[in-house]
Amino acid sequence: MLWEIDFGDTCGPNFHGRTFMDSKEIRDQVVEHLRKKGLRVTKERTAIIEAAFGSSRHFTAEELLEEARKLVPSVSRATVYRTLPLLLETGLLHRLDLDRGERYYDPNYATHPEHNHLICLDCNKIFEFEDNHLEARENEITRALGFAPATKHVRIEATCQRLRELGFCQNRG
């Protein structure tokens, strides 16, 4: 129950041997969330939702704006920032705690609700992985401490073994 997800040049992942969940299905879930809250389904929000979940790539608020504008050019930065919290509420999008300057958002919680991150300090790429053992132990600990788990996240910073052994990082470039 452990697999590797190779990101693209910057932060774009793809789960090996898996089909990315139909983006329309995810969008419907988000729209449903808006409806339940009595909020309006505007064309701007629709564009932002589409942009956020249209690929499996991590993104910043600015990148989301750019992408949403390809669908609805009039979308404003303010609306992106006002919509992001609504998406986070659904649990389908998470804010990542990369310690880079800007905040990154990860849309892959729709398809992999319990995934974790490994950040390569050599090539700066991000890999996603899931592991049942880890998850089970996290639950045990949480209950032992008298809590009920809500969100769990493991973040591992690591270095390429190959870089140290061979002098180059296979993930680089």
Partner DNA sequence: TTACGTGCAAACCGTTTGCACCAAT
Partner DNA sequence: ATTGGTGCAAACGGTTTGCACGTAA
Contact positions toward its own copies, by CB under 8 A? 2, 4, 95, 97, 99, 118, 120-121, 127, 129, 131, 133-134, 137-138, 141-162, 164
Using CB under 7 A as the binding criterion, the count of chain residues that bind DNA stands at 25
User: Residue written as tokens 């899931």?
Assistant: 130
Smallest distance, DNA to C-beta of residue 10, A: 14
Question: Would you list which residues are annotated within the binding site for Zn(2+)?
Answer: 120, 123, 160
Question: Which secondary-structure segment (H or E) carries 161?
Answer: helix 161-166
Judged by CB under 7 A, the chain residues 55 through 94 that form the site for DNA are: 60-62, 72, 74-79, 81-84
Residue 40 CA: distances (Å) to CA of 12, 44, 72, 152: 31, 10, 17, 31
* 167's tokens: 């002098």
Of 85 and 113, CB closest to DNA = 85
Distance CA 48, CA 169 (A): 36
Distance CA 158, CA 51 (A): 30
142 binds, among its own copies, DNA, none (CB under 5 to 8 A by kind): its own copies
* 60's tokens: 């910043």
User: Do residues 152 and 146 lie in contact, with contact meaning Cβ atoms separated by under 8 Å?
Assistant: no
Distance CA 163, CA 2 (A): 23
**Mask 11-50, x = binds DNA (CB under 7 A)?**
---------------------------xxxxxxxx-----
81 binds, among its own copies, DNA, none (CB under 5 to 8 A by kind): DNA
Which residues contribute to the site for DNA (CB under 7 A)? Answer: 38-45, 60-62, 72, 74-79, 81-84, 101-103
